[in-house]
Amino acid sequence: EQFIMLAITGSLAVASPALRGCGRKQPRALRACRRAPRPMHRRQACAALPNDENPEQAVQRRLRESEEVAERVKFLQDRVELDAALERAGDSLVVLEVASEEICQTGWDEEPELQWDEDKRAALEPCLRLKHTFARIARDCSDAVFLAISADDPKSKELVEELQVKTIPTVQFIKNKQLLWEHKGINKLEQNLSEGVLYYGDQAAENLKASSFVKDLHSPEEFQEFVKSQDKDVLTVVDVCASMCEPCVHIFPAVLALARNFEKHAAFARVQLDETPELEALLAGSLGIRDVPTFLFYRNGAAVGRHVGGSRADLIGNILQQQVGAGHPLPPPGPKATKAAPAAARKFSNW
């Protein structure tokens, strides 16, 4: 029973916005409070506002947040401005958005043909939502640099062409002036934006640092020390990833969720295979890693298994099996366990 409840807890944690990245959905409590048609409804709606905050204070808070966004997102028009911004960013993650208020492409091979004005307006809605998501993430993630280019601005046309952006919107993740990953088109862009900031920028919502739970290793010496230094019988999980690896980006929220759920029961770290020649020699050479992501399992300094691939469910199942198979206790169910446990028990019974 504990086995099943942990699987549910982990799955819910993986889906949590706090683990996907800095972006988190904002409550609509203020809007409901102000628009409630009757006094009774208004009292109920306003009760959902944050503690000790009335509607007027909420408006002032939103204005301050808008000012913060204006300071956090810098709009660019030409290559000179881009180069200067990248120079100022130094080692920080740079998130660059190329967007438009007139174009919203899916990124699919064939874009749908829109004949009616209503269809065109509806097609623009996801990109309008993206604008707010980008602004919210920029406000919440103070350690990253956020840049934006308007594809509608004639002065930006040459820069868009230089960046070889052919799909609008496009979001690029850049570090040390090197393009690490980009997402083209609106399809799944909001999710990938948050996951990219988490993976490359170490930033989740609520000021959470991923590296507080998943230690970053930067050398063979750090790798060996981490594996050997864990307490007796503690499962040690090393996420072997790469800087340009989309499956590595997508599975990392699950890795973070597992690290939080298994705190004091397992130790998690990640290492980029392509960060240095020495790491590549160790991981690809000595340890024979051919695909990323690969998850290496150790206990008491000795290898006990590995998992290859980007399936979140398979990774969770493998880690649970490692603990159960070795006769070690699982973490107690967390507060996120739900009444769906009986149905989920049947779903996960084969693990």
Query: Could you tell me which residues come within 8 angstroms of residue 262 by beta carbon, excluding any fewer than 6 positions away?
Result: 235, 268, 319, 331
Whole-number Cα distances in Å, 324 to 240, 318, 331, 333 = 23, 10, 11, 15
Contact between 289 and 205 (Cβ < 8 Å): no
SS3 category, 71: helix
Structure tokens at 17: 């916005």
Query: Could you tell me which residues come within 8 angstroms of residue 64 by beta carbon, excluding any fewer than 6 positions away?
Result: none
> What's the helix, strand, coil split of the chain in %, to 5?
50, 20, 35
Please tell me the number of Cα atoms within 13 Å of 333 on its side-chain side. 15
Q: Which of 22, 33, 127, 248 is catalytic?
A: 248
Contact between 265 and 328 (Cβ < 8 Å): yes
127 is catalytic: no
Q: Closest by alpha carbon to 224, among 286, 310, 306?
A: 286
Enclosing H/E stretch for 239: strand 235-241
248 is catalytic: yes
Residues with a catalytic annotation lie at 245, 248
